[in-house]
Structure 1
Amino acid sequence: MYKILFFLCFMFSQSIFAQDDFLNEFESEYASTAINDPFETYNRFMSNVNWGIYDYVFSPALESYNAVTPLGLRIGIYNFFDNLASPLRFLSQLLTLHFKEAGNEFARFSLNSTFGIGGILDIATPNGLYSKRSDFGITFGKWGLDGEFYFVLPLLGPSNFRDILAMPLNALAYPATYIDSFWTSSAIYTLKEFNYTARHKDTIDTIRRDGLDSYILMRNAYEQFRNELIKE
């Protein structure tokens, strides 16, 4: 039961706010794209619910977190959890026959886990070993599985059929899944989620302030970002 609960916690940490590369894309302009959205009425409702939770629960907590946590510590925490995601990226790249990228990811993980104090320091990037985002949703996409339809999950946010199918496999490839203690797993998840989201709080708040149709923006950006990763 505890493992199942942690799977849910990990899946939440893969939400839109946990994807730092995705949030960076808000700084670029996306063209409108035809997206299959048969559940738009529900999706808009759930998007409003998720934004409400962010505005009244997460936003104040994140503001306090950023205020009391030094930037250097936040970067170290980010590096640590990014390093933990290396096995997921490695497996995904192997399954899509991207052996060079898989080897690069293995080298990054080995270097950062040893000389980088468990990944707290990113030793690999300055030495030319760059990480390339990958997960089982991208793997399925490269295998030819279409996203089918856009869907907004409670708390997790934007997704689609393909990425929902990939969530359990993504969780299985994440090392913290196998920690026996539920409370330890929960603490790891909580720290990971808060730190990732805090990293882009200013961007998220800008979206909220601009008065744009955040639903269309999130939907189009999510689908185009995922499709671009699949095409790489």
Structure 2
Amino acid sequence: MKITARIAALAMVAALSGCATSQNPNDPLEGFNRAMFSFNDTVDKVALKPAAQAYQFVLPNFVQTGIGNFFGNIGDLWSAVNQILQGRVETGVTSFMRVAVNTTFGLGGVLDVSTEARLPKQKSDFGQTLGKWGVGSGPYVVLPLLGPSTIRDTAALPADFYGDLWTYKKPVRWRNVGSVVRVIDKRAQLLDASNLLEDAALDKYDFVRDTYLQSRQSQIDGTKDEQRGKEEVVKP
């Protein structure tokens, strides 16, 4: 929690200090962000990517899938809470059902039984909830180790931290081991995409920034459109 709070504070200080200027209105902190992006990229090349490649090489595919499913099942519970907070009650109930079904019949979430049962997975976080409530995204910011974000999404990090059930796992040593495995598993899932990005002749910083901002806006617009459509259906 202390690390998350410090990262959030760093983003806020960078935004308020106006330590860099940019021609892009969505990225007034471009100078700071590019430096942080370069730092994160170096850490990824030196540590995360090699670890993810070793993880992918050593573990059979079904084990990797099981690990991803397990942590995804934990994440579904916080997604359900956020969907309820966003007014997407039906989607939230579906996410709660996913957790119940996968935990009960999927060996604690290792098997994704819910998808086969036509209970689709939809991820949500508190930053998305704030966006649904009308909170503006604020400037784009690159966080140390965590990567692309916005001021709104950074402010939401403590809530996401407390909403993650793995935060409360005991003993602490198993929580820490699981957290490391979780990060490496997520990085392994992105290996193919990152390799394509490395080969492409483009400004990687610009590509990641624009893709992130478009994706986040699409997620928030999607929640609004979904709710608007349901309201129209119930009108007499």
Question: How is 1:170-181 mapped onto 2 (pairs within 5 angstroms)?
Answer: 170-181=160-171
Cα deviation, residue 179, structure 1: 2.1
Q: Which of 85, 104, 109 is equivalent to 1:95? A: 85
Cα RMSD between the aligned structures? 1.6
Query: Which residue pairs with 1:59 in the alignment?
Result: 49
Q: Which amino acid aligns with 2:124?
A: S
Q: Which of 143, 147, 158 is equivalent to 1:153? A: 143
Question: How is 1:72-151 mapped onto 2 (pairs within 5 angstroms)?
Answer: 72-151=62-141
SS at match of 2:156: helix
* Preserved contact between residue 76 and residue 123 of structure 2 (Cα < 8 Å): no
Cα deviation, residue 90, structure 1: 0.9
The answer for unaligned runs of 5 or more in structure 2 is: 9-23, 223-236
Equivalent-residue separation in structure 2 for 1:154 and 1:115 (angstroms): 38
Query: Which residue pairs with 1:213 in the alignment?
Result: 203
SS at match of 1:132: coil
Q: Which of 169, 172, 179 is equivalent to 1:189? A: 179
Flag the structure with more relative contact order, 1 or 2, with Cα contacts below 8 A and sequence separation at least 6. Answer: 1
Aligned pair count reads 205
Cα deviation, residue 134, structure 1: 0.7
Q: Which amino acid aligns with 1:146?
A: G
Question: TM (normalized to structure 1)?
Answer: 0.84
SS at match of 1:124: helix
Cα deviation, residue 35, structure 1: 4.8
Q: Which has the larger radius of gyration?
A: 2
**How many percent identity over aligned positions?**
33
Q: Which amino acid aligns with 1:133?
A: K
Equivalent-residue separation in structure 2 for 1:66 and 1:151 (angstroms): 30
Could you list the structure 1 runs, at least 4 aligned residues long, displaced by more than 6 angstroms after superposition. Answer: none
Equivalent-residue separation in structure 1 for 2:117 and 2:40 (angstroms): 40
Question: TM (normalized to structure 2)?
Answer: 0.83
Query: Which residue pairs with 1:224 in the alignment?
Result: 214
Equivalent-residue separation in structure 1 for 2:207 and 2:130 (angstroms): 24
SS at match of 1:120: coil
